[in-house]
Amino acid sequence: MMKRREFIASASALALGTLAAPTIARAQGTSLKVGTYGGYFEESFKKHIYPDFTAATGIEVDSIAEPTGEAWLVQLQQAARAGQAPADVSMMAQVARIRGERAGLWAELDRGAMTNVDNLPEHFVHAYEDGRFYGTGAVAWYIALVTNTDVYPEAPESWAALWDPANENSLGLLALASNSFLLEITATTHFGGTDILATEEGVLEVMNKLAEVKPNVRLWYRDEGQFQQALETGEIPMGQYYHDVTGLAAADGKPVRSTFPKEGAVLDSGSWVVSKASDALEASQVFIDYMSQPEIQSKLSRFVGTAPTIPRDMTDLTDEEFAAVSSDLPPILPRYELYVDKADWVNQKWSEIVTG
């Protein structure tokens, strides 16, 4: 089973990271240290991407497995204070990226030296408020509406299926506001877009709408594996899940399907950023620039299963290859700032209204 985002495992990593970091200080060598989420991502990059990168640029890559969640951010932060960079380039989740941005943790990059960055859409080009460029989208994936094909012979067309009384006690949804993006899904499905989430009143209104799905929810999951297994057996026949992983399971013969609802699927992503303590800035820029090339993005889609961060027409993906990882429908873009600026408030209200 493919488990890319091991939330539970990161618990211990966080505790260690908080108390014992920085410990991953290494001698700054000639190679570039690149951090990706430990497990599937790190292995795939080591296998499919780094060797070609080294061949093309002559820069050796020292691959580092990072914990997901906030733990890596904390480690980078504490290491930077000591002038250390456990990794030069890191793949960061969006909330962590924004937190790092607020803390001024990311090194400014020279966009002029990175021509391929122009390929990326605006939401994958990250800059400080004053315009200083510091990072790009690295990989993207969709959270889509998934169903068990034995239980649902017809694919649902809309996220509205979550609210359908016919689906009582049969949904598996992610347990937290900040990783399920159910607020964005609800806002798009019932309130015409995510703009309503700009105010607290709007967020509460959306939450109350979302709370209506509670009778349908069998499992609020934090661990992916738990839901995937239940989905495959039909135990929990509907829910939100990763589009690519579901596609792989279906290709494996499992009775599951992933659907892009007409409102769009949630596009979540990880981004490349460089620690300000890194002394391999140039090599880092070369790496990020390299990763933004259409052929590399196509390769990622084929071998790692991520959605390309560049427009489809720049890639050479076939329809089938493209459909396996993405969709032409406009995606639902998460409002990450909500989970940075109002994190505690959203979390508290979420606990009270939605899962409480």
Binding of another protein at residue 344 (CB under 8 A)? yes
Nearest approach, Cβ of residue 321 and another protein (Å): 32
Distance between CA atoms of residues 20 and 168, nearest Å = 46
Cβ closest to another protein, residue 179 vs residue 188: 179
Closest to another protein by CB, 234 vs 294, is 234
Cα torsion through 256, 182, 103, 200, rounded to 10: 180
Check residue 343 for interaction with another protein (CB under 8 A).
yes
Under the binding rule (CB under 8 A), the answer on residue 20 touching another protein is: no
In the set 108, 233, 302, 321, which binds another protein (CB under 8 A)?
A: 233
> Counting contacts by CB under 8 A, is residue 208 touching another protein?
no
Q: Build a one-symbol-per-residue string for 43-82: x at contacts with another protein by CB under 8 A, - elsewhere.
A: --------------------------xx--xx--x-----
Pick the closest to residue 274 from 143, 132, 141 (CA basis): 132
Q: Which of 21, 230, 286, 291 binds another protein (CB under 8 A)?
A: 230
d(CA 152, CA 281): 51
Among 14, 187, 210, 274, binds another protein (CB under 8 A): 14
Regarding 183 and contact with another protein (CB under 8 A), the answer is no
Residue 340 binds another protein, judged by CB under 8 A: yes
Q: Is there binding between residue 254 and another protein (CB under 8 A)?
A: no
- Among the listed residues 220, 250, 255, 314, the single contact to another protein using CB under 8 A: 220
Told to check if 164 binds another protein by CB under 8 A, we report no
Helix, strand, coil percentages (3-state) for the chain, rounded to 5, are: 50, 20, 35
- d(C-alpha 176, C-alpha 23), whole Å: 30
* Cα atoms in the 13 Å half-sphere on the side-chain side of 63: 19
CA dihedral in degrees (160, 343, 39, 309; nearest 10)?
A: 60
> What's the min distance (Å) between Cβ of 12 and another protein?
10
Q: Is 234 in the site for another protein (CB under 8 A)?
A: yes
Site string for another protein, 271-310 (x = CB under 8 A): ----------------------------------------
Q: Rule CB under 8 A: is residue 6 a binding residue for another protein?
A: no
Toward another protein, which CB reaches closer, 38 or 69? Answer: 69
Nearer to another protein, 28 or 229 (CB): 229
169-192: string of b/e by CB count within 10 Å (b at 16+)? Answer: ebbbbbbbbbbbbbbbbbbbbbee
DSSP assignment of 198-245, as one string? GSHHHHHHHHHHHHTTGGGEEEEES-HHHHHHHHHHTSS-EEEEEHHH
The residue within the footprint of another protein, chosen from 1, 11, 20, 204 (CB under 8 A), is 11
Nearer to another protein, 61 or 203 (CB): 203
- In the set 51, 83, 192, 356, which binds another protein (CB under 8 A)? 356
Point out which residues pair with 256 in neighbouring strands: 148
Range list of H helices, the chain: 10-20, 40-44, 50-57, 71-81, 94-102, 177-180, 182-190, 200-211, 224-233, 243-251, 281-291, 294-303, 319-325, 336-341, 343-349
Per rule CB under 8 A, is residue 223 in the interface with another protein?
A: yes
- Residue closest to 82 by CA, chosen among 272, 271, 275: 275
**Residue whose C-alpha is closest to residue 270's, from 145, 194, 179, 185:** 179
Kindly state the number of chain residues that form the binding site for another protein, as judged by CB under 8 A: 45
* Interface with another protein, residue 23, by CB under 8 A: no
Residue 253's contacts (CB-CB under 8 Å, 6 or more residues apart) are none
- Which parts of this chain interact with another protein (CB under 8 A)? 7-8, 10-11, 14-15, 18-19, 69-70, 73-74, 77, 98-99, 102-103, 175-176, 178-179, 218-223, 225-226, 229-230, 233-235, 340-344, 347-348, 351-352, 355-356
